[in-house]
Structure 1
């Protein structure tokens, strides 16, 4: 996929993930949203390849604190399961984010970009959502 004027990025996608994520949302009452550096391009470049409908996009332009402040605002007082491959970038900010949400279901699920979302990740999400009152 082209990511700039001269550069292309190889992205490995599993078309089965779209169905699995839609099923997770349906079964748990979760809302799917993008929190990615792709921003709105995720809806045009990635979502269609996975069979996902257009999703809300968490905007985090010019944020300090990586994606955490924007995701905190977006999720607010709702349970959150967040799949990402970059939770290790800012450990202090990650820990503060989780601590502030300690009264809520908050599962940060690390996904290896080389293997993608697995059955184990989806099970972890279901378990986390199952802890909701």
Structure 2
């Protein structure tokens, strides 16, 4: 529950969360606004904004605030397009020497300003450039609850993002989460090693007050400094059956991270085994391959005889 009785804030970026980018242009559907807001004709990327974002954002139990370089233009060009009223806008401070230090420390240029704007009020921040450096800094400098939720800019806000935001916001205001909202697990995704993704243990985001299930407690208590600022966040939806399975798999003392890694490896092994079986069946039914095999066996018999 928020201490002041106020609803949490939700600081919303535009480019990335609402306007996806970074994938092939043909991947993105376009939407025609009716009527077209004034002053938007010069930016064709606005057509990528799904108008369904408006009702979904308005349904979240929070006060929406634009936190974007669009600034006041977001109320002129974005809000009418998705059916939102005019929202408050974060006015970014003038550049200062602190910005240079933050850049060296890899702290996002928005982070200090958003914490100042919130002034202790609980908030969620939705952006495509958030890192664990920002999460750690907010956890140390913001006295309220905070959820720094990174969105994949290639996809924009998805069902999974809305589920994660709704669950956190409902918890903060003290209301029970919607029955339609599945449980959420957060996994840190630490780039890749040898071309393969490397997963670390799940944990609540810094500043979040959720009580994780018993089988997640060891990971929940880990020091945030053990996580790289290069990590992204992978949000996984789980149902009751999956929670029960995880509880069973961790009942012998194994960590949740080990269970998840083993499950991924075993799934990969099963897939490789199935592929090998299909390849063997295909080769067994190929006359040319059978003839080649017989020739090799004949040569081996000659070598053994020699």
Instruction: Give the shorter-chain TM-score range.
Output: 0.7 to 0.9
TM-score calculated relative to the size of structure 1:
0.79
Residue 53 of structure 2 corresponds to 17
Structure 1 gap segments, 5+ residues each: none
- Are 2:125 and 2:149, in contact at CA under 8 Å, matched by a contact in 1? yes
> CA distance change for structure 1 residues 9 and 99 in 2, over 3 Å: closer, same or farther?
farther
> CA distance change for structure 1 residues 110 and 92 in 2, over 3 Å: closer, same or farther?
closer
Measure, in 2, the Cα distance between the counterparts of 1:100 and 1:114: 31
- Are 1:32 and 1:55, in contact at CA under 8 Å, matched by a contact in 2? yes
Give CA deviations for 1:35-89 in whole Å, capped at 9, x if unaligned. 001111111111111111100001114243511122112212211111111114x
Measure, in 1, the Cα distance between the counterparts of 2:140 and 2:169: 18
Partner SS state of residue 15, structure 1: coil
Structural mapping, 1:82-121, within 5 Å:
82-88=125-131, 92-101=133-142, 103-121=143-161
Partner SS state of residue 125, structure 2: strand
Measure, in 2, the Cα distance between the counterparts of 1:54 and 1:86: 24
- Are 1:87 and 1:110, in contact at CA under 8 Å, matched by a contact in 2? yes
Q: Does 1:126 align with 2:166?
A: yes
Structural mapping, 1:17-36, within 5 Å:
17-24=53-60, 28=61, 30-36=62-68
Q: How far does residue 98 in structure 1 lie from its aligned partner after superposition? A: 3.0
Q: How far does residue 95 in structure 1 lie from its aligned partner after superposition? A: 2.4
Which of 42, 47, 70 is matched with 1:38 structurally? 70
Structure 2 gap segments, 5+ residues each: 1-39, 103-108, 175-306
Measure, in 2, the Cα distance between the counterparts of 1:61 and 1:45: 23
In our comparison, the structure showing a higher alpha carbon Rg is: 2
Structural mapping, 1:62-81, within 5 Å:
62-63=94-95, 64=99, 65=102, 66-81=109-124
CA RMSD, 1 decimal? 2.2
Partner SS state of residue 45, structure 2: coil
Measure, in 2, the Cα distance between the counterparts of 1:70 and 1:51: 27
Which of 7, 29, 50 is matched with 2:82 structurally? 50
Q: How far does residue 131 in structure 1 lie from its aligned partner after superposition? A: 2.8
